[in-house]
Amino acid sequence: MQNLLNLHEIEEAATKVISKKAWAYYYSAADDQISKSFNNTIYRSIFFRPRVFVDCSICNMETSLLGHNVKLPIFVSPAAMARLGHPSGEAGIAEACDRMGVAQIISNSASLSPEQIVAKASPGQVFGWQLYVQRDLKMSEAMLERVNSLDPIKFIVLTVDAPVPGKREDDERVNNIGRMAGGGGSVATQLFAGTDPSISWDKTLRWLSEHTKKPIVVKGLQTHEDVVVAGSYAPLVRGVVLSNHGGRSLDTAPPAVHTLLEVRRYCPEMFERIDIWVDGGIRRGTNAIKALCLGAKAVGIGRPVLWGLGAGGVKGVERTLQILGNEMATCMRLLGVKSVQDLGPQYVNTRIVEQQIYHGSSGSSLEPRSDFVVQGKL
């Protein structure tokens, strides 16, 4: 593992050893994979503005997520079916996250139970639980009851950008081969069976607030209007994740950086109202620092963790996080920044990307209930 120097090399190593089914599910994205590709390349159009002659002997990357301390402003995005890549699965990811001081959001479709994943959690280790609302609400309510009893799980991540699965052709192609050999449906098709496509702001948040007292983070926002709506539900909603689902849902949906810049342009007050996190396309420490400069409180990585797990189990995930953390520290020192709290828009030039940001009327047709907004609860 120590000979692998970046996340790209870890992905290459994993691709050589995991099964075709695992590769197809992890790698696949919607349609022509434009959003997936753009997630990775958008950061190349943002340039740094380094300050020099700054004492950079100290580099502090510690921060807090919803009041819980973490050593790095990184979280593991919910990534399903980790055991396809390695027998240790999500428990292996948890072990590596513990060693590196990183938060982990457990997938609703994890290959291990939440109890198994958090069984060896250290005091203070931070987990979130991803929720896809099921048509059969009793199923979701039963899972929430289990999650509510697990103290290491600090918050619920309600994923809203995939009420139905996107068209992931690599996953489907392996499925077609498997079907001819007597296999079942694609991994994505199986995982999304039963997901409720009728979720909506007031109805779903009202229901969720009745079944958990843990803080709620809404994942999958792709416009500033929806960030405003989410913010109006504070303090029940404590944060959002700007994300296009790794390019796996709607192809040509915007990268998180676009939405982040929309928020800065149209509703910058949201940075003070709720935590704003991003995921998608983070492959270098420089990518992560650019997102933090633009106001993100933390950045998420999904596929890179699965590639790390596939390439080397727990040590592979640990190496992935180590590389990213070291790159972030180097970047901060070369920028002349001592702490992640000191990062800001003055350290980046986004002029090229600003040309791509939505420029039109602002407003939302989805208005929350007035009593909910005033009281902050249902």
27 assigned binding-site residue: no
Q: Which residues pair with 63 in a beta bridge?
A: 70
Check whether 78 is labelled as a binding-site residue: yes
Q: Is 104 annotated as a binding residue?
A: no
80 marked as part of a ligand binding site? yes
Report the candidate in 299, 296, 293, 297 with the shortest Cα–Cα distance to residue 344. 293
Does 302 carry a binding-site annotation? yes
Alpha-carbon distance 100 to 317, whole Å? 10
Q: According to the annotation, is 211 in a ligand binding site?
A: no
Report the C-alpha dihedral over residues 172, 312, 308, 340, rounded to 10 degrees: 170
The token pair that represents 121 in the structure block? 């959690």
279 annotated binding-site participant: yes
Given 86, 211, 224, 245, the catalytic residue: 245
Count the neighbouring beta carbons within 10 Å of the beta carbon of residue 288: 28
Nearest C-alpha neighbor of 197 from the set 229, 247, 169, 161:
161
First to last CA, the chain: 50
On whether 319 is known to bind a ligand per the annotation, the reply is no
- 280 marked as binding residue: yes
Any known ligand binding at 198? no
- CA dist., res. 305 & res. 7, Å (int): 9
Cα 153–Cα 150–Cα 136 angle in degrees, nearest 5: 90
Residue 281 marked ligand-binding: yes
Q: Does the annotation place 282 within a ligand binding site?
A: yes
The answer to whether residue 245 is catalytic is yes
Q: Determine if residue 79 is labeled as part of a ligand binding site.
A: yes
Positions at the binding site for glyoxylate: 25, 132, 168, 245, 248
Positions at the binding site: 25, 78-80, 107, 130, 132, 159, 168, 219, 243, 245, 248, 279-283, 302-303
Give catalytic residues, as residue numbers: 245
Positions at the binding site for FMN: 78-80, 107, 130, 159, 219, 243, 279-283, 302-303
